[in-house]
Amino acid sequence: MTIYGVAMLAACFLIGKLIGEGLGDLIGIDANIGGVGFAMILLIMGSQWLHQRRWLDTLTESGITFWSNMYIPVIVAMSATQNVKGALSGGMIALLAGTIPTALCFLMIPWLSRLQKRTTSEHVDKTEG
């Protein structure tokens, strides 16, 4: 039932957009602050909540998974193109606000990879012992 995945995606998108617009209004700027992120979090939490209560049949769960996988790259790509001209005219602060977090994320990849290998090996040791 892919349609349930579409309905859940649409609901999460609209709620995330409202939250993002509300945050923008709250701090006095005419922008959506984190609406896509809120929508993604709602989608993950909502599907997990439904899964834990066993309210999802296999077809519905596969529909939600399909649209979750489609949603992230499409919506992030759409939001990445919003107001690029305004961000570039913001000067050095706008450039640093995008570059520094991206660089930190790239630098964290080796650390997270080692952490996951260690966690996986500890899990294997516990199950073998």
Predicted confidence (pLDDT) per residue in 66-92, tens digit:
777 777 677 667 666 666 666 667 777
Name residues whose C-beta falls within 8 Å of residue 38's C-beta, 6 or more positions apart in sequence.
Answer: 15, 16, 19, 20
Predicted TM-score (pTM) of this structure: 0.56
Paired tokens of 101: 């977090």
Decide: 41 and 49 in contact? Cβ < 8 Å.
Answer: no
Domain coordinates of the chain in residue numbers?
1-82, 84-129
pLDDT value for 79: 65
Paired tokens of 23: 């945050």
Place of tokens 């570039």: 88
